[in-house]
Structure 1
Amino acid sequence: MEQNEEKVEEIFVQEGVLLLSGPASHIEYMKLTGTLYITRYEKHENEYSTIFIEWKPNENLTIDSDIQDQEWAVVNTVEKRTRTLSGSLIPEEANRSKYLRVNFDTIKSFKVANSGRKILFNDGRGDVICTFSFQNGNSTCFIASLRQHIKTAPSRRDKNLYIVVGEIGNNDKQIETSFKTLSLFPDDHNYMWSFVKNFQHRPYETTMEAFAKVTNIGNYFWNYYFLEYLIVYNERPLDDETKEVLNKSIIAIESATTTHTQDDYEVVANVPKLPDRKDCPRSKPLTKEQWLDLQNCEGKIEDVDGIKLLIFRGGVTPSLRKSVWKYLLNYYSWESTQKERDQVTKDKKEEYYRMKTQWMTMTKMQEDNFSDYRERKSLIEKDVNRTDRAYDFYAGDNNPHLQLLNDILMTYVMYNFDLGYVQGMSDLLSPILYLLQDEVDAFWCFVGFMEKVLSNFDIDQAGMKEQLQHLHTLLAFTEPELSTYLDNHDSGNMFFCFRWLLVWFKRELNQEDVMKLWEVLWTGLPCQNFHLLICLAILETEKRALMDNNYGFTEILKHINELSLKLNVNFLLNKAEGIYRQIEEATHANDNVRDIVGLPKLENGNMDSPNTASFTYLESSADHASVNIDTNEVSYERGISNSYL
């Protein structure tokens, strides 16, 4: 019999998914963890659809090493991969029964439960096709990928139940993506009516803020679809007066804004120009002499702001980090004396070992009856065994530092059981343990770091979504051309920046540069959310590479991931601070932009006073490293980052 080759595109891949229910033929695989896919087959003569949901248990499963190493990252949930099958859909005949395959045509509805960690698919006759439980995070990215291929509408009776109303065509995909990217209508329907009210009072500004990104749709069709969208996705009907306001407001922008096409992307004309960018050179790191000079006879820091400014400007001398990081991560209070710190160290040590004893003395029967604890313990063991193994500090079998990494993370589960452990936390702990090489100190500094990034690990990913939205808002203000390009290339959701934000560029920089960047960010200077401006600095630098090559989402994601270990931290800090200065001085920056970076609102083009934020520049001197800003630079010079070490 002739063997036919079929190409299979993996649209979505996510590990750590438990099969809770399914066909009778899969009963032996129930309660097993496996990998969930959304796949597209190039040809299928006997099926109604070419797109399927697939699941396979982890047994005998080979996973791409890069994907396996980054399960928590968005790359494994959206990056498309292609495999070739010969003769049948399943490469190994003996493994065919292990695959659970569900044709999209058979899905009539699905229900999300347990804060997004569980999803049930129904066939429309009241029967459950299959049920999955997401062990590593939740189903948010999976559902987002699902909705790129099927239209859904929420049930009026159950907000967690979604009815499948059909497939998504090309036009639908473009418009749907635009709306989803903009996140115009949160679950709170009161937002919608506040939105409409703003139209009545400031139609031009409101329309521009919300819809400037959607520029390639005819006005008539745009108005029609917008109104239809409001009616379908909001339970409260629109009256004629509201419809008229919306129509007039949308049409009003036609004469105020023009666009032109340039090489497949939109360029918005008449965008106000940002102020000239200042060069913000880096300085030398904080020295031991400076550190001691700023302490009194009792060991108390007398000029906290001055210390933070020095750290922001140049980081910390490596030999001094063990001391300074304990302040930056709230292990010690900046106002504490040496005597008070000695007592804190004693108290923290006792508290740590009390919590560690709690999990170390847990019996097997207790673990067997405590599924949440058992799952977290298993996930920690799995992550620890592959955290930074390329570094000598964590290399080799039976490495004692890996055991410390494991013990600290297990103790954190007892410290914060509501959160427990989420993939990515081991990446944040690793440099801290490497530096301090003390179990107790590393734990409490890790606790301080987690307090700063806690929202990154929300079970519903609300914190990450908000940061990605904020990043898009800032990009639309500082680089509207690139922002529009991303919107038009299915990338306006900024998911390709997910890894940057989740673990603060841990995977993008070498160990030394990671520590330098983190200590600068921990100062909170020069503004809140400065890490988002680091993202802007990278995106601005890569702008031409992305746009000139006409990259779509998959290519953008690949390009961004390939920047790992090629970035220069001093260059990025210089550029990011320059971007902040431009936002600070821009009189056309709206309140939303200014609020993201913690600037006061503008009133009649002037900053409110006396609450105006201030930040002091250091005068230029021979001690500073001047970094030239080149917006076309893609490959960074490595020498600058080591100039003071």
Structure 2
Amino acid sequence: TEEGESSLTEITFTSSFRLFPLQLIFEKEGVYLHTNAKRSNQDTSIPGFIRIVERAGVPALEWSPLEDDGRNAPAVLFSKKDGDGGEEDTSFDPGYEPDWAVISTVKKERNTEQSSFSLTGHWAFSLPLSELYSLRRSRFSLGRNFLVLTSRGGHPLPPLHFHRGGTRELLRALHRYIILDPSPLDGRLFLAYPQDSGAQSFDRLQFLDDGGNDLVSRFIHDPYATTFGGFSKVTNFFRAALRPPESPVHSRTPQDPSLPPQSDDEPGFELITCGVELGPRPDVTRGPPLDKWEEFLDSEGRVTCPEKIKELVFRGGITPSLRKEAWKFLLGFYPWNSTAMEREDILQVKTDEYFRMKVQWKSVSEEQEMRNSLLRGYRSLIERDVNRTDRHNTFFSGNDNPGLTLLHDVLMTYCMYNFDLGYVQGMSDLLSPILFITQNEVESFWCLTGFMELVHQNFEESQEAMKQQLLQLSVLLKALDPELCDFLDSQDSGSLCFCFRWLLIWFKREFSFEDILTLWEVLWTRLPCENFHLLIACSILQSQRGELIGSDHDFNTILKHINELTMKLDLQSVLRGAEAICLQLLQCKELPVMVKQVLGLYVPSSSEEASPDSQASETQRLLSQSQEGAAASNSARGPTHP
């Protein structure tokens, strides 16, 4: 394609179909393709034709722009070797930063090996119907439909927007060659099968342009698996749930050749609610920060009611003068039930252990390090990141600042503590607030190890934990705001990759330094549910829905808009929104299983699943805990002795 017009992979052209005549089966004008054009003066909405054609008896679905009638264009195949990457968007230069640091550089990679998906120049495409895997239809509040098609290789085509209607006619024409079998769990998602596969007839799809009574709209769950770099791929359906008891069921097993291929390394499928009545979102108030500490200690210095402290911290944070002490408990440096004397012993043991590890890297000679590329790489990354971490803060500003030396030494020692993980860009962002509060090398190190216990998987090379969190975020957002999800899907942003930085370093770059101190101590309480940080991300996204939906944002401008939220978000408003979302979900009587799993309400064991009674009691426990937390912030702040 021409420079700046496509983010898809490079294509190799052949002309295997050039000599075969084209037979036009179906044609519809007014079908727009929304691109991710780099240059701001380019039109990102391209009008065109959608067609079903036969070339040499092979039916295919084709789209071509209005300026090219496309009827005599050859079907152009492309392939890509493993390891080839897509073109990287560099529409604005953030300066030297790691890949995640500025949410504006996202590679669009497609593994297209063994795919029959076809492209022609200027965004046109051709897909043999035998290669069509799934079709998803969505609608905006403005009434326009769009379709997302996915090939059997798992490659989504750019969303097709039907500005003048016509999806019903297209689907009827497709039914001449294939059967579109609806998911029982999402009325908008259909699998494509050959005509002889035994799937049910098109008459039962109820797939109307006007969004009428969809047969499957009553279903609660929505299977929607997404990979980090693209649109959805559905990997499992319980198709029998759609049919009445007397209807024959055509079973498909993983060995059935009529099933679309499934990759063992896919992260699986996620169930996302569709049409669940969540009920009203309650109003939430925040409380004052924890401002007393000694009153919560008994005569031996033991914390008598850690749960109450956590509730107060969740509700209002911690007053600055108490952070140095309270953080050491929240991050596991001191056990909650330890006495003052025991804590003195712990500090001595931890100090000795820290300096033993520090000596290990300090004693490595330059000659030794030249033969240790891993340690040399860790040191290089640390030195580079230390010089640009929170330099606006007086504790780290200026040249030859002792704070920078401490930052460097603690990170190098962590490499000795966890050499398999070592140092990964972003870890300096986690340490700097801790070091600022403790202003102590040993205490900051062990608090960092406690923090890393919560987030170390974020930094693993496979990025599986980050992919899983993005999937979980999709689960929650789909339950809370399906329309916003549809919009993001339509702009190739359904992967939520622009949230990567948020989740990686817990919003460190999104809020002011002082706000991050409050946000992190709130998150360290692990209240009011698991994965509360994902609800914070949902709160931010929903606060921006008015700016996104109904605008002309495309993939690039969505990334740019999210990136420019940095330092513009109100923390207290975001926290109130996240807690209100949590309460809204907890109060839902028909909360889908996948949402419960994300919130920690339902985790079935390998041998048995939790009973409905146990699920209900766990939901009620968390709901009561959150509601009682609000009351605790206004209660007397003295200790409650057992």
Per the TM superposition, whether the score is higher than 0.5 is yes
Q: Equivalent of 1:146, from 81, 85, 109? A: 109
Tell me the equivalent position of 1:381.
Answer: 383
- Which amino acid in 2 is paired with 1:549? S
The match for 2:356 among 351, 354, 357 is 354
Assess if the C-alpha contact under 8 Å between 1:74 and 1:495 holds in 2.
no
Q: CA deviation at 1:603?
A: 9.8
Q: Deviations over 1:44-70 (max 9, x none)?
A: xxxx99x997999xxxxx997624234
Partner residue of 1:96? none
- Counterpart AA for 1:256: L
Q: How far off is 1:75 after superposition?
A: 2.5
1:171-570 alignment, distance < 5 Å: 219=171, 221=174, 224=178, 243-245=197-199, 251=205, 255-256=214-215, 271-288=275-292, 291-570=293-572
Q: Of the candidates 103, 112, 126, which is equivalent to residue 75 of structure 1?
A: 103
Aligned residue number for residue 256 of structure 2: none
The one of 76, 88, 94 aligned to 1:66: 94
Q: 1:54 to 1:500 in 2, by over 3 A?
A: closer
- 1:166 to 1:574, Cα distance in 2 relative to 1, 3 A: same
* Per-residue deviation, 1:277: 1.3
1:548 Cα deviation (Å)? Answer: 2.3
Q: CA deviation at 1:9?
A: 7.9
Equivalent position amino acid for 1:68 in 2: Y
Query: For residues 529 and 85 of structure 2, what CA distance do their matches in structure 1 show?
Result: 44
**How many angstroms does 1:279 deviate by?**
1.3
Distance 2:332 2:390 in 1: 25
Q: Is the 8 A contact 2:7 2:86 kept in 1?
A: no
- Deviation, 1:241, is 11
CA 1:10–1:249: 2 relative to 1, 3 Å: closer
Deviates more, 1:392-401 or 1:601-610: 601-610
Counterpart pick for 2:627 among 598, 614, 617: 617
CA gap of 1:225–1:454, structure 2 versus 1, over 3 A, is farther
Q: Hey, what does 1:208 align to over in structure 2? A: none
More helix by share: 1
1:211-234 Cα distance to aligned partner (Å, 9 max, x none): xx999865465995989xxxxxxx
1:404 offset after TM fit, Å?
A: 1.0
Query: Which residue identity does 1:608 align to in structure 2?
Result: Q
Output the CA distance in 2 between the equivalents of 1:584 and 1:185: 37
Match among 603, 609, 615 for residue 608 of structure 1 = 615
State the alpha-carbon separation in 2 of the partners of residues 367 and 164 from structure 1.
50
Cα offset, 1:460, TM superposition? 1.1
> Post-superposition shift, 1:285?
0.6
Q: What is the DSSP-based 3-state SS (H/G/I as helix, E as strand, rest coil) of the residue aligned with 2:369?
A: helix
Give CA-to-partner distance per residue, 1:552-607, whole Å, 9 cap, x none: 22111111111111111111111111101111111232100111011248999977
Could you say if the C-alpha distance between residues 466 and 620 of structure 1 is closer, same or farther in structure 2, counting changes exceeding 3 Å?
closer
Closer/same/farther in 2, CA of residues 9 and 470 from structure 1, 3 Å limit:
same
* Cα deviation, residue 393, structure 1: 1.6
- Per-residue CA distance 1:74-106 (angstroms, 9 max, x = gap): 62532xxxxxxxxxxxxxxxxxxxxxxxxxxxx
Shift, 1:617, TM fit? 2.3
Q: CA deviation at 1:72?
A: 3.4
Residue by residue over 1:514-547, the C-alpha shift from the partner in whole angstroms, topping out at 9 and shown as x without a partner, is 0100000000000000011111111111101011
Q: Give 1:276's aligned amino acid.
A: P
Contact 2:117 2:126 (8 Å CA) reproduced: no
Which amino acid is 2:467 matched to? K
The equivalent residue for 2:25 is none
Give me the identity figure in percent: 39
Change (3 A) 1:606 1:492: farther
Please state how far the C-alpha of 1:242 moved relative to its aligned partner.
10
Look up the SS of the partner of 2:590 in the other structure.
Answer: coil
AA in 2 matched with 1:274: L
Identify which range, 66-75 or 601-610, moves more after superposition: 601-610
Distance 1:287 1:321, change over 3 A: same
Cα 1:170–1:284 shift into 2, 3 Å: farther
Q: How many residues align?
A: 465
Do the aligned partners of 2:369 and 2:376 also contact (CA within 8 Å) in 1? yes
Supply the distance in 1 between the matched residues of 2:494 and 2:205 (Cα, whole angstroms).
24
Is the CA contact (8 Å cut-off) linking 1:285 and 1:317 kept in structure 2? yes
Once the 2 structures are TM-superposed, how far is the Cα of residue 271 of structure 1 from its aligned partner? 2.6
Q: Offset at 1:410?
A: 0.8
- Tell me the CA shift for residue 11 of structure 1: 5.7
- Gaps of at least 5 residues in structure 2 are 9-35, 43-76, 137-147, 182-191, 209-213, 219-271, 604-608, 635-642
Q: Distance in 2 between matches of 1:575 and 1:281?
A: 10
Aligned partner letter, 1:282: R
| Distance in 1 separating the partners of 2:600 and 2:468 | 15
CA separation of 1:617 and 1:356: change in aligned 2, threshold 3 A = same
Q: What letter corresponds to residue 72 of structure 1 in structure 2? A: W
- Give, in angstroms, the shift of residue 359 of structure 1: 0.8
Q: Distance in 2 between matches of 1:215 and 1:306?
A: 53
- Contact 1:329–1:445 (Cα < 8 Å) also in 2: yes
Query: What displacement does 1:551 show?
Result: 1.2
Cα distance change of structure 1 residues 292 and 551 upon mapping to structure 2, 3 Å threshold? same
Tell me the SS of whatever aligns to 2:565: coil
- Secondary structure of the 1:146 match is coil
| Amino acid aligned to 1:617 | Q
- In structure 2, relative to structure 1, the CA distance for the partners of 1:478 and 1:550 (3 Å cut) is same
| 8 Å Cα contact 1:11/1:40 also seen in 2 | no
Deviation at 1:243, TM superposition (A): 4.0
Deviation at 1:442, TM superposition (A): 0.6
The alpha carbon displacement at 1:618 in A equals 4.5
Post-superposition shift, 1:272? 3.6
Give the alignment's TM-score, normalised by structure 1.
0.63
Alignment map for 1:623-642 (pairs within 5 Å) = none
**Inter-partner Cα distance in structure 1 for 2:424 and 2:374:** 12
Q: Is the 8 A contact 2:390 2:432 kept in 1?
A: yes
Q: CA deviation at 1:333?
A: 0.7
Structure 1 letter corresponding to 2:290: L
Offset from partner CA, 1:422-459 (integer Å, 9 cap, x none): 11111111111111111111111011111101121121
What is the CA–CA distance in structure 2 between the aligned matches of 1:541 and 1:494, rounded to whole Å?
15
Q: Structure 1 residues 514 and 241 mapped into 2: Cα distance closer, same or farther (>3 Å)?
A: same
Q: Distance in 2 between matches of 1:424 and 1:246?
A: 51
Using the TM superposition, give the Cα deviation of residue 420 of structure 1 relative to its aligned residue in structure 2, in angstroms. Answer: 0.8
| In 2, Cα distance between equivalents of 1:481 and 1:576 | 19
Alignment of 1:20-99 (within 5 A): 66-73=94-101, 75-78=103-106
One-letter amino acid matched to 1:302? T
